[in-house]
Amino acid sequence: MKKLLCLTTGLVLMAGTAYAEDVWTGGDGLPTSPLACDGSPATLTASPYNGATVQNAPDLKGKQISIVDVPKLIGIGYFTATAKGVADAAKDLGNVDAKTDGPTKANIDDQITLIDNYVTSGVNGIVFAANDPEAIAPVLKKALSKGIHVVGYDSDSTPDAREWFVNQASFNGVAKALIDNIASQIGEDGAFAIVTSTFTTPVQARWISEMSAYTAKCHPKMKWLETVEAQEDNILSFNQANTLMNKYGDELKGIIGMTTVATPAASEAVKQANMCGKIAVTGLALPNAMKPYINGGCINGVVLWNPSDLGYAATEVLRAAVDGTLKPGDTSVKAGKLGDLKIVDGSVVLLGDPVTFTKENINNFDF
Amino acid sequence: MSHSPSQALRPMSSSALLKFIRAYGQETAVLLSLLVIVVVVSLINPNYLGPANINNMVAGNAYIAVAAIGMTMIILLGHIDVAIGALIGVLASIAGTLAVSGYPVWVCWLVPVLVGVFIEAVVGVLVAYARIPAIVVTLGVVSILKGGLITVTQGVWISNLPPEFLIAQFRLFGIPSPVYFMILLTIAAGVWMRYAPFGRAIYAVGGNVEAARTVGIRPERLTVGVFALHGMFAGIAAVLFGTQLQVIQSTVPNNLELTIITASVIGGVSIIGGRGTVYGSTLAAIFFSAVSSALVFLNISAYWLRAVLGVLILATVLADAMRRRQIH
């Protein structure tokens, strides 16, 4: 028992002395490319095409084609929205038969079996959101070898297993949207903190690095207090947000949630502490989880992309690839009502700026 | 039963103090560790002891403390339940589904408790009468519950919960309701286990099944009853868990069952049964949230929480092993 006590004391003391160092943002330390403060488009450096090539594809230019959309799973609001985008694009194009079919849980084995069945039964194109970038590659390569066009969205495969990938949002675009959003609410000299999943989650660490760089470039007086981890655990996120408020008191003006779990949990913490209007919360979040806070006026806005547009863009890109109007080396692609979309990193089509969900538009989204 | 807690009730002389520490040694250790953390961290940053932070620390893990009451009883009997995390997730989803379907709130609160009792009673029957080890039964139950939860909810979060359903957000005298649940249930369970025949029988069976049988206790029945009771605490914990925020996710926190088991073990329950109290497990649950909060106040990665807890588990189990060696 005494040992236990000594141990605890020791750990606390050690922690107190050894870790009172600089603010650790939680970024990944890789090079960053913050966007311009005024929103002028980034200069894109062209890189050679690194996608795959479809083999022995029949010439279907302008002809009726049948495609299948295979999301990570079906039955959740997010992928119901992407499926709607796929159907809308098919309707706008007029010469595409599209159907959506996916596993009932986000399971890579089920997804592979499903795609394999469609390859065997014969379709002209596949759009997919991969449950695993490596594991899905062989079945996609099989499709390509049989003349089937393949385009990814949301979650990529390895580049050599598909022709194009539609990326929902660039890392620096998300970073700019989040930091500009919080800056507009707490002012240029406000202090904010971050609730993330873990410091080792690649996507969050990348966003945070870009946010840190963008803050330094465009909002240099804002104070980044701290980044705390909360896994993808909503109660822990709630507790961590509370602890941040208690630790910093009046100094803390804003909280940014880096996961769709952390953002509503932080909003709830602010609401239950009666700090609506005093502490701003923004972050990445699904609209349905945020409706109580945004419609209730406690939270101004959160950031994500529009999943319907994502499915729409993937379908347009697939059609363009079939028609031959999108070729390796191109720097943009026409995507119907979405206009021209940029191509970066060889074979990645950018959907565009993230969407900010506010009181004005949040009720138009259901996912 | 040479270390029965009854020794603690005698007047305090120096030898009585010694006996108290022997009887409630681990509980005392957790309490003192908690005090050490509170003192040290509040010296570094006085905001740590602000009323809001105290509320958060005590309330933040209340659902874990409530679930750990039942887990403590299970471990006292020499069993384990690794399905508790998944069960809490399922019961919270049941409560939330009923709430958004417009059922009266008392139905939404009661049904998950009854379902919890039923499921754990079935587990108890399999453990007691079919004589399947509890870890095997509950591992099977985990798969059923987790798979079933994702299939039924399709991964969709339950939102738009009616405000009157959110019992964990109720406050009385500024103190969140989970704190009252935690304290009242802990004391009730502690007293019941000490004075009620059924409660005392848990220690008897956990200490020595055959001896308990010779004095007229029926261990099989007791086991089913204790599992059912454990299911009730799981149901209450699930309602507190599900009503703390305004959405119920179709997943539960990673390793929730481990956190609950850890609370029981660090609170002093011997992992092979027979000794320990629910006071210890509740103190341990508060201790966890105090450590978790302290890590933010001291700018330390939350990964240290796992490391600290791991060290504490080892120290506790070691201390328990040493105590046992002294007895035999």
The CATH number of the domain holding residue B92 is 1.10.3470
* Average pLDDT of every residue of chain A: 86
User: In angstroms, rounded to a whole number, what is the distance separating the alpha carbons of residues A101 and A73?
Assistant: 8
Question: How far, in whole angstroms, is CA B266 from its chain's centroid?
Answer: 11
Cα–Cα dist B81/B292, whole Å: 25
Is B323's pLDDT higher than 50? yes
* pLDDT surpasses 70 at A42: no
Overall domain count for chain A: 2
Q: State yes or no: pLDDT of B1 exceeds 60.
A: no
Using pLDDT thresholds of 50, 70 and 90, give the confidence band for residue A116. Answer: very high
Is A28 within the bounds of a domain? no
The pLDDT value recorded for residue A60 is 86
In a domain, A294, yes or no: yes
Residue type, B261: I
With CB atoms and an 8 Å threshold, state whether B302 touches A230: yes
Establish if B8 belongs to a structural domain. no
Q: Do the domain assignments include residue B294?
A: yes
pLDDT category at B152 given cuts 50, 70, 90 is: confident
A209 lies in the same domain as A311: no
Pairing state between β A332-334 and A223-229: unpaired
pLDDT tens for each residue of B185-240: 999 999 999 899 888 898 888 888 888 888 888 889 999 999 999 999 999 999 99
Nearest-Cα distance to chain A for B48, in Å, is 6
What CATH number corresponds to the domain at position A235?
3.40.50.2300
Q: Who has greater pLDDT, B227 or A103?
A: B227
Look at A203-212, B38-47, B147-156 and tell me which has the smallest mean pLDDT.
Answer: B147-156
pLDDT averaged over every residue in chain B: 85
Query: CB contact, 8 Å: B154 with chain A?
Result: yes
User: Is the residue at A337 inside a domain?
Assistant: yes
- Residue B96 belongs to a domain: yes
Please give the Cα distance from B212 to B156 (Å, whole number): 48
Higher pLDDT: B313 or B21? It is B313
Contacts with B210 (C-beta within 8 Å, 6 or more apart), sequence order: none
Asked if B151 reaches chain A (Cβ–Cβ under 8 Å), the answer is yes
**A251–chain B nearest CA distance, Å:** 12
Q: Residue A304 has which token pair?
A: 């994500």
B282 touches chain A (CB under 8 A): no
Task: Domain of residue B93: give its range.
Answer: 48-327
B246, B256, B311: best to mutate for the A interface, most A CBs within 10 A: B246
Give the residue among B199, B167, B190, B192 at the shortest CA–CA distance from B180.
B167
CA A31 to CA A51: how far, in whole Å? 24
Whole-angstrom distance, CA of residue A50 vs CA of residue A263: 36
User: Which residues in chain B have their CB less than 8 angstroms from residue A245's CB?
Assistant: 52
Predicted confidence at residue B139, as pLDDT, reads 92
Cβ-contact B317, B265 below 8 angstroms: yes
Q: Which residue has the higher pLDDT, B259 or B268?
A: B259
Q: Is the pLDDT of residue A91 over 90?
A: yes
Which pLDDT tens digit goes with each residue over A156-191? 888 899 999 999 888 888 999 999 999 999 999 999
As for how many domains chain B has, the answer is: 1
Q: Please give, rounded to a whole number of angstroms, the shortest distance from the CA of A267 to a CA of chain B.
A: 10
Residue B174 maps to a domain: yes
B155 lies within 8 A of chain A by CB = yes
Whose structure tokens read 């095409």? A49
At A197, the pLDDT band (50, 70, 90 cuts) reads confident
Task: Report the pLDDT value the prediction gives residue A17, as an integer from 0 to 100.
Answer: 44
Alpha-carbon distances, residue A165 vs A156, A346, A355, B195 (angstroms) = 6, 10, 19, 67
Could you tell me if A203 and A288 lie in one domain? Answer: yes
Q: pLDDT tier at B155 (50, 70, 90 boundaries)? A: low
Instruction: Please give the angle made by the CA atoms of A267, A272 and A278, to the nearest 5 degrees.
Output: 65
* Burial status of residue A161 (CB atoms within 10 A of its CB: 0-12, 13-18, 19 or more): buried
Residue B261, pLDDT > 60, answer yes
A249 touches chain B (CB under 8 A): yes
pLDDT tier, A151 (very low <50, low <70, confident <90, very high otherwise):
very high
Q: Is the pLDDT of residue A1 over 80?
A: no
Q: In the 8-state DSSP scheme, what is residue B47?
A: G
**Same domain, residue pair A91 and A156:** yes
Per-residue pLDDT at A7: 56
Q: Where are the alpha helices (DSSP H) in chain B?
A: 14-23, 25-44, 51-60, 62-76, 84-100, 105-128, 134-153, 177-195, 197-207, 209-214, 219-242, 256-266, 278-297, 303-327
Determine whether the interchain pair B315/A243 forms a contact, defined as Cβ–Cβ distance below 8 Å. no
- Closest residue in B to A11 (Cα) is B308
Span B159-189, pLDDT tens digits:
888 888 888 888 888 888 999 999 999 999 9
Segment A212-222 shows an average pLDDT of 92
Q: Which residues of chain B lie closer than 8 angstroms to A11, CB-CB?
A: 304, 308, 311
Q: How far is A44 from chain B, CA to nearest CA, in Å?
A: 36
Q: Which domain-ending residue is among A264, A281, A304? A: A304
List the domain range (segments joined by +) for residue A342.
Answer: 65-169+306-353
Query: Are A292 and B319 a contacting pair at CB < 8 A?
Result: no
Nearest-neighbour CA in chain A from B53: distance (Å): 6
User: Residue B47 and residue A289: Cβ atoms within 8 Å?
Assistant: no
Which residues from chain A sit within 8 angstroms of residue B160, using beta carbons? 291-292
All residues of chain B having their beta carbon less than 8 Å from the beta carbon of residue A7 are 311-312, 315
| B300 has a chain A CB within 8 A of its CB | yes
Interface residue of A19, A243, A251, A286 to substitute, partner B, most B CBs within 10 Å: A243
B29 and A4: CB-CB below 8 Å?
Answer: yes
Q: Do A5 and B41 touch (CB under 8 A)?
A: no
Q: Which residue has the higher pLDDT, A209 or B3?
A: A209
- What is the dihedral angle through the alpha carbons of A15, A17, A18, A19, rounded to the nearest 10 degrees? 70
Q: What is the mean pLDDT of residues A105-116?
A: 86
A76 vs B contacts (CB less than 8 Å): 154-156
Per the domain annotation, does B14 fall within a domain? Answer: no
Contact A1 B292 (CB under 8 A): no
Backbone angles phi, psi at A123, to 5 degrees: -130, 170
User: Is the minimum CB–CB distance between B60 and chain A shorter than 8 Å?
Assistant: yes
A234, part of any domain: yes
3-state SS, residue B176: strand
Mean pLDDT of A242-257: 93
Within-domain flag for A81: yes
Of B293, B300, B301, the CB nearest to A243: B293
Q: Pick the range with the lowest mean pLDDT from A39-43, A226-230, B236-240.
A: A39-43
At CA A106, angle to CA A100 and CA A109, rounded to 5?
90
- For residue A362, list chain B residues with Cβ-Cβ distance below 8 A: none
Q: Which pLDDT belongs to residue A2?
A: 53
Note whether A247 contacts B: Cβ–Cβ < 8 A: yes
| Residue B5 covered by a domain | no
Q: Tell whether the model's pLDDT for residue B91 goes beyond 80.
A: yes
Kindly state whether residues A79 and A147 are assigned to the same domain. yes
Please indicate if any CB of chain B lies within 8 Å of the CB of A110.
no
Residues A183 and A292 in one domain: yes
**Which of B65, B84, B5 has its CA nearest to residue B267?**
B65
Residue partners of A113: CB distance under 8 A and separation at least 6: none
Say whether pLDDT at A36 is over 50: yes
Predicted confidence (pLDDT) at residue B9 exceeds the cutoff of 50: no
Give yes or no for a contact between A79 and A129, defined as CB atoms under 8 angstroms apart. yes
pLDDT at B157: 79
Query: What residues are paired with A348 via a beta bridge?
Result: A165, A344
- Which long-range contacts does A142-146 make (Cβ < 8 Å, 24+ apart)? A142/A116, A143/A115, A143/A119, A144/A52, A144/A53, A144/A54, A144/A55, A145/A55, A145/A56, A146/A55, A146/A56, A146/A119
Question: Running DSSP on this structure, what letter comes out for residue B158?
Answer: B
Q: Can you give the pLDDT at residue A30?
A: 76
Query: Do residue A244 and residue B159 have CB atoms under 8 angstroms apart?
Result: no
pLDDT tier for residue A73 given thresholds of 50, 70 and 90: confident
pLDDT (0 to 100) of residue A19 = 45
Residues A216 and A237 reside in one and the same domain: yes
Identify the CA nearest to B282 among candidates B186, B189, B204.
B186
CA A120 to chain centre: 32
Q: Per-residue confidence at B8, pLDDT binned at 50, 70, 90? A: very low
Q: Which of A28-37, A67-76, A157-166 has the lowest mean pLDDT?
A: A28-37
Tell me the DSSP string of B48-61.
Answer: GGSHHHHHHHHHHT
Do A152 and A245 lie in one domain? The reply is: no
| CA B125 to each of CA A124, B115, B129, B210: distance values in angstroms, whole numbers, following the listed order | 56, 15, 5, 19
Q: What is the pLDDT of residue A21?
A: 42
In a domain, A153, yes or no: yes
Q: Count residue pairs from A and B with Cβ separation < 8 A.
A: 157
More confident residue, B12 or B202: B202
Closest by CA to B31, choosing from B290, B320, B304, is B290
Q: Rounded to a whole number, what is the distance in Å from the CA of B76 to chain A's nearest CA?
A: 20
Closest CA to B71 of B276, B260, B277, B275: B260
Residues in chain A closer than 8 A to B254 (CB atoms):
231-233
Does residue A115 sit in the same domain as residue A139? yes
Q: B197 and B222 in contact (C-beta within 8 Å)?
A: no
Provide the pLDDT for residue A23: 61
According to the model, what pLDDT value does residue A353 have? 84
* B60/A12 CB distance under 8 A: no
